[in-house]
Structures are given as C-alpha cells and as structure tokens.
Amino acid sequence: MTKYLSLLLVGLCAAVSAAPIQFDFKDPKGVNTILFKTDAPLESINGTANGISGTVSYDPANPAATKGKIIVSANSLHVGNPMQKEHLHSDKWLDVTKYPEISFEISSLKNVKTENNVTTADATGTFSLHGVSKEITVPVKLTYLKDRLKARTGKEGDLLVIRSNFTIKRGDFRINKGTFEDKVSDDIELTLSVAGAAPKAG
C-alpha cells in the first residue's frame, strides 16, 4: 500500500509541475510594443502601440496547447504627426472611443516545432478591430525563459516572449474600405514583440 501511495504522490507532483503557466502581458515597465506600418503611393505611415495587456496560458511540456488573448488599447496607437494621430483616433478611422480595444485571441497552434526553449507555429485565432472580428492565421515564435523574470523586474519567475509579423487589410475591418488608398494602404503590416510575466508564488 505504501508503494502505491508513493507512486500516486509522484504522479500528482508530476501533474502539478506540468500544469500550464499563466503569463500576464500587462507590462509594468511599459516597454511592450507593437509596430504598425502602411506604405501607400503618396505616404508611408509608421506607428507604435504600447497599451498592451492580456494573458496567455503556456505549457513548456506541451507548447501546442498554448491559448490566450493579447489586447491593445486603441488610444495608445501613436504616429509622429499630431494631425495624423488625431485622424487615426477619430470616428472617421479607428473610432477609439467607440472601439477601445484591438485584440487577438489564440484558439489553436498548428505546424508546431520546438527546439530547446523556442517554439514556432502558425497561430489561428480571432482578430478584433473596429467592431469586426475575423479569424486569421499568423506565424508566431514563442520563447520560454525560465527563471528570467528577475533580470527584467527583480521578481522571481518566468518570462514568455511572443513575436509575430503579419499583415491585415483595413477594408476587412470596415475602415474606409476602398478609399484614400493613395495615402493609406489597404495593407497594414503589424510587428509584435511582447513579453509576459509569470511571477512565482510566495
């Protein structure tokens, strides 16, 4: 009986240690950033967004089971020209007052390849922008940094870095479809590089 009890305890410990880790992408340092770019015939517009939050569940033993949601505060989108920024936030374009969040919710990973602490995959999920939600598939790179949170924040814990580069069409999200394409391309290129934190309890 003692032998079976010991095996049961070992199994329970293994199950606990293999549980997915919840990573919080609300960065207290405020350095998590998403870049966006449009390259129209008359103008090239480059900007950033740093109002990032959300949580992602990641299991180092099973990266393919990764799920979660990254959220961007729409009013954190910034371009260098003040007038362009005003237009971008207005109800003629993103209408950040009515639609305050932009998000991507991961539902599944395919073509998963893991080497050491780095996983690459195609992430399928729901991208929501300007009141429209659309299923898309984008390439992602997940880097799991065990016990590296302290180097970033001074707290014990793990980090998960998510990187991705993909393109959406503003027309798909009812943002002035088919208009102003000489100044604002229909293609919007997004570059994501964000780190989530999982502090250790205690």
Structure tokens at 121: 């995959």
Pair of tokens at residue 54: 């959300």
Q: What is the pLDDT of residue 202?
A: 63
Average pLDDT over residues 60-76: 97
**How distant is the alpha carbon of residue 193 from its chain centre?**
8
pLDDT in tens, 28-60: 777 899 999 999 898 899 999 999 999 999 999
Q: How does DSSP assign the chain, residue by residue?
A: -HHHHHHHHHHHHHHHHTSPEEEE---TT---EEEEEEE-SS-EEEEEE--EEEEEEE-TT-GGG-EEEEEEEGGGEEESSHHHHHHHHSTTTT-TTT--EEEEEEEEEEEEEEETTEEEEEEEEEEEETTEEEEEEEEEEEEEETT-HHHHHSSSEEEEEEEEEEEEEGGGGTSSTTSSTTTS-SEEEEEEEEEEEEEPP-
Q: What is the pLDDT of residue 18?
A: 59
**Pick from 124, 125, 163, 123: which is nearest to 143 by CA?**
163
**pTM, rounded to two decimals:** 0.88
**pLDDT band with cut points at 50, 70 and 90 for residue 27:** confident
**pLDDT for 143-200, tens place per residue?**
999 999 988 888 899 999 999 999 999 999 999 999 999 989 999 999 999 999 999 9
CA distances from 185 to 4, 76, 182 (A): 66, 21, 7
Question: 129 pLDDT band (50/70/90 cuts)?
Answer: very high
pLDDT for 32 equals 92
Report the pLDDT averaged over residues 57-83: 96
Cα distance between residue 89 and residue 99, in whole Å: 10
